[in-house]
Every structure is written in C-alpha cells, then in structure tokens.
Structure 1
C-alpha cells in the first residue's frame, strides 16, 4: 500500500467528491476546483475524488488540473470508500488513504440529491451538508414546497406531472388552467440551475414543454409565471447556536426566464463558467437596497425553511418576488450551491472567507457524523438471542 500519501501530519484528510452523471457535471468540476484551491492547506489535506458517468470513483493528482478534463483526465486510480481498522478510508489497487471527512461538490442528480450522502452514511464516513434524507427532499421541488409551506413559508401553487400522465394530457391541461391559469412555467422537479425551464403562454405550448422536461426528469412541475419578477438568493448555516445568513443576491437578466445558459454562458461573449467568482457571467447585485419588511420576510422564510429541512451545511434558498406588489414566494433550496456561494458569504454582514466556510462545513460534519458499533435494537424489540 502507498504509505506516504496516507501519512498523518495533523491536517484533516478531506475527500472532495465531484463530477457525476448529472446534466451539471461540468459545473460540478468547476465548483470543486474553486473549493479545493480555497481550502486552507495548513489544516486540510484535499484528496480529490472524481465520479465518472458510470458512478465509478477515481483519484489522482491530475484531478487538480481543470484543463485535463476531456471530460475525465487519464492516469487515475479507481477507488472506493471503506471502513477499515483505523476508520474511514479510500481503497484502491496499491492504495489506502485514511479519510476524516467527505465533502461532496455535486449539482443535480446522483450527488446533490442524497445518493452520495446515503452511501457515505452507510459506511460511516462523516459527510458535509444535509443528510441523505434531507438532500433527497430538498432536491424534489414539489416535496420541498410542501414541507416549507407547513411551517408558514409562502409558496406558489403548482401542478406536478409524471411520465405516466402524458397519455391523459387533456386532464393535465384542464387542471393547469383551472388551478394556475396562464402563462405558466414548466420545469423539472429534480434538476438544478434552471435546466429545462420553459414558459408556456398558451395551453397549446404546454405539451411540448412537458415532453421536453420529462425526457430529462421523471417529474415535471408547472407553476404560474410571476409577473414583474425579481429573484433574491440567500445562503445560511447553523453556527454558534443560531442561523447565520450570507449577503442577499439579486440576479439580473434580460431574459423572461433565467435558464441554465443565461446563468452560465451569457454576457460579453464569454463562454463557460469562469473559475473565480462562481457564476461570474451573471450580472448580479449583492446586498440590494430592499424595503425593511421585504428583507425581514426573506430572513424569516429562510430561517423557517432551513430549520425544517435539517439545519446543516450552507445551502442557498432562491426566492421569487413580484416587484410591483412585494409578494414573496419560496422557489427552491440548493443543498450544494454553485461555488458553495462563497461570494455571498464574503459579502455577509459578518464576512466569512471561503477557507473559513470550508472549515465550518468540515467541523460540522466531523462533530455530527459518528459511526456506531453498538447493538441498535432496544431490549424490548429483541426477537433474536443476545
């Protein structure tokens, strides 16, 4: 086994996992590079772990070179997580690396949705962010809305449509018109970064948009279009016994809908997300001048939603607002926001630098994720001899 790489020097070995079989694979790679570059090398030894399109895990130094991705670098070792004699580890052919914590940097399915968290929780590897169940709920936009509505957070009415309902499109369209009216927004229920979002201005527009969405996701969500739309985003964490907030971000766009290309591939002829400030190509205003009551509602809704969804990690919540009326609606929560929203934390009322944000995520995971070896069955439930 390779021993030098596994040696302990007082730093925490943090496996940063990224890539995956998601439509947002490339964004995940860029976000992970930013995070690994920002981690405090005096306290954290970063172990890059790449997940390919077949959900296999690899490690190797070339994962730190973003220019080597085509979409995956060569010369990597396949590895798996394991619980060894000394605790969590990465195992590969001729390789054993002790791991203190795993830090997923995934966006979308097969990563951000709790599947990676579930795998790591079963093995006993401390993992940052939401739990597996919390991540799964957060990824399902319809489920999230139902849960946060139960604690007094305002959400838009919606209609969920699965693939089996395509054969009864007339009933779907009738329900949409009766419950929501027109125009409506059609979007995937489980994908992030506005992938697949479309605007239906007439009843006749809806079937084609649904067909497109349901080729990418097994569930579509239809919501009324918010007039005079302005969006506000905010991240949060549990720190020092309370919910702590980042700066508020107001994305700006000339498009009717802020879709994936508008977020990542727009403005000034720039192609591709730049690895310095997250969605750098997106024009945004940080800490916009807001009416006091609107800011208070954003903070109140964010706190309520964060607490009911698990109060872990540093997720970002996106809100929609009618600029003319001041009405505010919870839109979605991102368990792993692009670039972990570090630019929002740097502009917070009490600024938090990116290395400090990473350290918080690791400390939280290390404090809350402990593998238990004792018998979990209470005596009253014993059916087998002890």
Structure 2
C-alpha cells in the first residue's frame, strides 16, 4: 500500500507534528506499507523528498524538498511533482497533524473532495472534535458528564465586566481559561481573580477566536484513553494517568522535559513518552467503568473512526469524573496506550488498522450524482 504521511503545517504544534510523524514512519511495517513523507510548510503547501526522513533536516523547515500536489489521474490517485510533472501512485493519506490546518477537518475535507482515502475522523467529525465547546455539548447529550463553561470572543473584551459577572455567577474562581480550538494545553492559564481573567482571555484570543472558561477541578487527576472501531464494536486502549507537579500540565512540560535530562534538552524520538505517567493504574471498579462507558459513548457520538484519545478530569477525593476533550490525532498516535491495551496492538498494527479502515470505507464516485427527477440541465 502506497501511503503518504503528511505532517508539519501552519499550527502552533508544527514541531510536535514533525516528531510524531517520524515516530510513525519509523514504526510502519515495510512489508505492507510503503511510506512517502510529505511535509506541509507554514503556508500549507506540500513538499516531498526522501530527506524528510532525517529529523536533522528540520530547522524547523527542511531544505531540498520539491513541491507536490495530489490529484485523481486516469490511473487513480497520485502525488505529482510541480516542476517535473512526475507522478507517484498513492493509495491513502495518513495525516499526523496536531491543531489547526491538519487535525481540524480542513485537510480531511480537501482529500475527501479529491476522493483520496484519508485515515482517521472524517472532515465533519474532525472539525467538531477540534471545537471544545461544541464537542462538550454533543457528548453531554449522549450522557457523558462535562463541566459547565463560559465562552468569550473578541467582542467580550469590550465588555469585560459582563464577562466577569457571568464567570463569577456560573463558574467562580479560580477558573481555567483555554483556547477552544487548539490542543496540547497551548495557551491554557489559571485565573484566580477577575483581573487575571481579563488578561488571560485577551492572551487566549490573540491565538484563537474563541476562549473557553471552566471551573478549576480541585484535587485534579487526569485520565486518558484511546479508542478504535473494529468488527462492529469499540475497542479501548489502556488508561494512562499523567503525572505533574504543576498546577497545570502545560505544553512545555508535556513535550520539552526528557526524563532525567536538563529541562529543554529535547530528544525528538521521545515525543510524548518524555512525560512521566502511570499506564493502567489501579482504579476503583466504578471509576474505571465510568471512564470506559464515557469513552464508548463519546467515540460513537463523534465519529467512531481512527484512533482518537479522550482526556478526562477527575476529583481524586470525590471521585467525580468529567469529559475534557477529544484528540482526533493524539501525539505519537498514542501507540504506547495500545501496546498496553487489554487486547495489545503494536504500533505497526495500529498503522495498518488506520490505513485498512480508510481504504475500506472510501469510495470515489464517477457517475452522475443527480437523480433523474432533479434534472434541470440536459443530459
């Protein structure tokens, strides 16, 4: 199978995407999959070259890669070089993006228009998963517990007093402020006072067009779990419990700490594994059952495709559990969660699942889609 792995992009998580993609390409089963690396630059243009397999070429943009585009040819989907016109057959697109312009449905929609199979959530589901407030509304209807929240846009900055009153009445302080459309804890802050709230909302809205404000969970413990759809049912990964000494698990702690090394001495091959965590921690039966139940309900509601990861928040003392967000393309595709799952799945097997799923339910139509009764133009 000829698989184009796309990564990079005009996202705050560009660098993380490059690292995750290298991990995935290293893990692909070469007996079944032939990988073509495709880098997406800050202008969302596509480039390809064998040199993209060398992480040392990224500073942060790689050199010596030619621009390419994708289209449907007489022989099926191809990747075509802009300058030479040379074509390479492509069976499937495997995106390894985090954040806007890759994880949010825009890229998925591009390839759906072309008719080229693309792994993971469809465009509509990807867009919904990226919008945290909309996602919460949907899973709440499915019976999943969520925190109350307030949203703020740039118009809210002109009347911060009204926003402060709404947050005070509905949520109280301290409150968490975060972008509604970004991931990896980028831009997340803790507002302990009304003055801090206004400043944090302004900071978030400089990065996103919508801010999400939620109550701070006391005695916070996080639990993450990934899901996939196979043989007509939901399969669940291991549960992870991230460890953190900070009030917030922020972006730098997630990606820039490397075990016992000096802070910021980033080892790209480690990726998300640089974060200390408990895999399959001992949990009360009731809590584990609720995590599994909420995960199944949310996954089916949001798209039951790909291998997304859902993040939950819990109060360690009361046992309360809330859905936090869903990551349509989790860092490193959460392969370590699947390797420790009740039904273990190695990283190469996980990649094969993604590609096989995409190829199995993507069909390009060539016939006239207009029913005869709707003809307004001559045929």
Distance in 2 of aligned mates of 1:208 and 1:272: 31
| Of 242, 246, 252, the match for 2:237 | 246
1:13 aligns with 2:2: yes
Equivalent residue number for residue 362 of structure 1: 355
- Aligned match of 1:145: 136
Deviations 1:33-60 (A, max 9, x none): 0000000011100000000001110000
Secondary structure (helix, strand or coil) at the match of 1:102 reads: strand
Alignment partner of 1:42 is 2:31: yes
Alignment CA distance shift 1:346-1:276 (3 Å): farther
Q: How many pairs align?
A: 375
The 3 A distance-change label for structure 1 pair 350 and 115 is same
Residue number in structure 2 paired with 1:329: 322
1:277–1:343: 8 Å Cα contact kept in structure 2? no
3-state SS, counterpart of residue 206 of structure 2: helix
Of 319, 323, 348, which residue of structure 1 is paired with 2:312?
319
- Matched-pair contact (CA < 8 Å) for 1:163–1:218: yes
Are positions 1:212 and 2:203 aligned together? Answer: yes
Does the 8 Å CA contact 2:181/2:210 hold for their aligned counterparts? Answer: yes
Residue of 75, 93, 98 corresponding to 2:89 = 98
Separation in 1, partners of 2:178, 2:27: 33
Secondary structure of 1:130's match? coil
Q: Which residue number corresponds to residue 366 of structure 2?
A: 373
> Partners in 2 of 1:275 and 1:344 — Cα distance?
19
2:115 aligned to which of 120, 124, 128: 124
Moved over 3 A (4+): 272-278
Ranges in structure 1 where 5+ consecutive residues have no aligned partner: 1-11
Moved more, 266-275 or 211-220: 266-275
Of 33, 37, 41, the residue aligned with 2:22 is 33
Shift of 1:272: 5.4
Shift of 1:381: 2.5
Specify the SS of the correspondent of 2:271: coil
Q: Identify the match of residue 172 of structure 1 among 160, 163, 174.
A: 163
Partners of 2:264 and 2:186 lie apart in 1 by: 17
3-state SS in 1 of match to 2:20: helix
2:75 is the alignment partner of 1:75: no
Are the equivalent residues in 2 in contact too, given 1:14–1:103 (CA < 8 A)? yes
Task: Tell me what 2:279 maps to.
Answer: 286
TM-score by length of 1: 0.95
In angstroms, what is the RMSD of aligned CA positions?
Answer: 1.0
Q: Secondary structure at the match of 1:216?
A: coil
Q: Residue 264 of structure 2 aligns with which residue?
A: 271
Residue 369 of structure 1 aligns to a residue whose secondary structure is: coil
2-structure distance, mates of 1:275, 1:356: 22
Cα distance between partner residues in 2 of 1:79 and 1:272: 34
Task: Tell me, yes or no, if structure 1 residue 134 matches structure 2 residue 122.
Answer: no
Partner Cα separation in structure 2 for residue 147 and residue 317 of structure 1: 14
What displacement does 1:316 show? 0.2
Given candidates 161, 172, 178, the residue that maps to 1:181 is 172
User: What secondary structure, in the 3-state scheme, does the structure 2 residue paired with 1:172 have?
Assistant: helix
Task: Specify the SS of the correspondent of 1:178.
Answer: helix
Distance 1:152 1:272 in 2: 43
Shift of 1:270: 4.3
Report the 3-state secondary structure (helix = DSSP H, G, I; strand = E; otherwise coil) of the residue aligned with 1:358: helix
* Secondary structure class of the residue paired with 1:80: strand
Q: Tell me the alpha carbon deviations over residues 260-300 of structure 1, each in whole angstroms, 9 at most, x when there is no partner.
A: 01111235324255344531221100000000010000000
**Can you give the 5+ residue segments of structure 2 that lack an aligned partner in the other structure?**
none
Q: Could you tell me how far apart the structure 2 residues matched to 1:381 and 1:273 are?
A: 59
Contact 2:121 2:328 in 1 (8 A): yes
CA offset at residue 26 of structure 1?
Answer: 0.3
**1:371: Cα distance to partner?**
0.8
- What CA distance in whole angstroms lies between the structure 2 residues aligned with 1:378 and 1:131? 25
Residues 75-108 of structure 1: CA distance to partner in whole angstroms, max 9, x if unpaired?
1110001010111111112221110000000000
Q: Which residue of 2 aligns with 1:5?
A: none
